[in-house]
Structure 1
Amino acid sequence: MNLLSVRNLVKRYGGLLATDHFNMSVETGETHAVIGPNGAGKSTLIAQLSGESRPSEGSILFDGKDITQVPVYRRARMGLARSYQITSVFNEFSALQNVMLAAQAQLGHSFRFWSPMMRSRSLRESAESSLDLVGLGSRIDVCVADMAHGEHRQLELAMALVSNPRLLLLDEPMAGMSQGESEQMAALLAKLKGSCTMVLVEHDMNAVFALADRITVLVYGKSIACGSVESIRSSAQVRAAYLGDDDD
């Protein structure tokens, strides 16, 4: 069953089509990767799926419901969560405080209730569980400013997971990571496979091929191919457009 269906999605910026009549379906429990060269429109697509950017045309269905015009906060409450290409965390707070804030925001509470939030056992337990899940259980009281870049990415994932999302939108979760950090993140996402439906935008092809159930290839806002890892890996059209043709 499709959890997410994207139909003829168009995003115009003046005369530029950043998303060009794009179609995609994501099944429940699937890890669906979206790959393409720089400027292909991948982050624009993720922004439309999350509600941060309104499509010019087309529709987005989540669990059969049309959410094309639904704002970000309502999509979050329906079970969509997003991580960003650039980390979005509060450096002056601890890892635990960051995740508790994310949990509080998902519930629709105002940030001004800082003290009550910090006394909330349920928020703390949810945050600690999420941090444990991403491998930061021993770092909960560490100030984010003192954490490594890879840990920032793990923390951001914990902030997305604390709401128990039905669909997780991942925009280059391994951006800026060392090889060791990328491998650690890939192992973490592998643990989530099946239990959480994921749309993964990523340039690390080793990670994509290891994690994805299906792959959509995006070039100039258009889907030029969609299929299994093997079908995408062996596609001459995809090699020529993105992966690099060995015959050249």
Structure 2
Amino acid sequence: MISALQNMESSARHVTLFYIALIILTGYSARGEDDNDCPADGRTWLPFGRNCYHFIHGAEDVAKSYSLQDAKDMCRGYELLTVKSADENNFVVNYSPSVWKGKMNVWLGLYYDSDRDVFRWHEDDSVLGFSNWEDGGDDETDLPLMDTCVALHSNTGKWENISCTDEPENGVVCQTKAVVIRSNQSKPLMSALVIISVVLILAVSAVIWFVQQRHNPGSSILNLIEYHPPFRSPSADQTCLVEAEEINDMP
């Protein structure tokens, strides 16, 4: 009977550990992923990374282009295309054929800071980091500094210095930050699993305590989690002491 009770106690501990592990694993696997929400203003916005993009196009088979000022007006409330990584650059190149047929130069939201002698993004006034200038080119320009803008070639993804006022019109891509939406769909499931697990653990513990009370009156449910130190072999000094006592006890 004692052996059966010990087996039951061991099973209870295993069940408890199982449900604790189940709760932890469920918490990781059931977490909802964040969604990115783009503006709902009637335009077609494409999410990519943490941003949303709106490619402005004209009538079918007609590549519509705009001056820099017109581009800013069409993207009022947002920013012109801002490209800060190779992935973003490739995204624009890969999607452009769905909007424009053939080559299109696209305005980038860069301006030349003549005081610091660097390019900056209008979006957050940050200094240009990633770039993709045409082969053999760089950010140096022979244009008047206050009249230097940058365009991206939609067919190659390469960048080119152009005049902000004298150049022909270019394609327009508006950009804005996506709104991150936290998913809470997993919370009801997680709460239900926690409640069920706690109830089952309490039920198993209560059954074992009841059985133990019948065979060992006065015991407590705390005995189920009583700590039993592991067996330790005697130290060398203790062994010598025992041997000495045995020798002294010999006739």
Larger radius of gyration, structure 1 or 2? 2
Give the structure-1-normalised TM-score: 0.24
